[in-house]
Amino acid sequence: MKKLSMKFVTASDDITTLTINEVREDISDAEVNSLMDEIITQNVFYSTGGSLVKKKNAKVIDVTESEVTLA
């Protein structure tokens, strides 16, 4: 499974992170940039630091899960 982690700068100059689980394996940098721009433009998310005003960074995280046997 892959996760997309996007960090934004807020109106109060704090950093906030938005994570999306189970993104497509082949998501491109251009798609991530476009998504982040749209999130900022639409102003649909609000954090304790205020509106999201600028992109900070983004990364795709590859998550591997393994069952743990409980005693």
What would the mean pLDDT of 12-32 be, rounded to a whole number?
Answer: 96
**Predicted pLDDT at 7:** 98
Percent of the chain past pLDDT 70, that is, above it, reads: 100
User: Could you tell me which residues come within 8 angstroms of residue 52 by beta carbon, excluding any fewer than 6 positions away?
Assistant: 8, 9, 10, 16, 39, 40, 43, 45
Mean pLDDT of the region 6-30: 96
**Does some domain include residue 44?**
yes
**70 falls within a domain:** no
pLDDT for 33-59, tens place per residue? 999 999 999 999 989 999 999 999 999
In a domain, 37, yes or no: yes
In a domain, 9, yes or no: yes
pLDDT at 12: 97
What total of structural domains would you count in the chain?
Answer: 1
Q: What's the pTM?
A: 0.87
Query: Could you tell me the residue range of the domain that residue 20 belongs to?
Result: 2-62
pLDDT of residue 46: 84
Question: Is 71 among the domain residues?
Answer: no
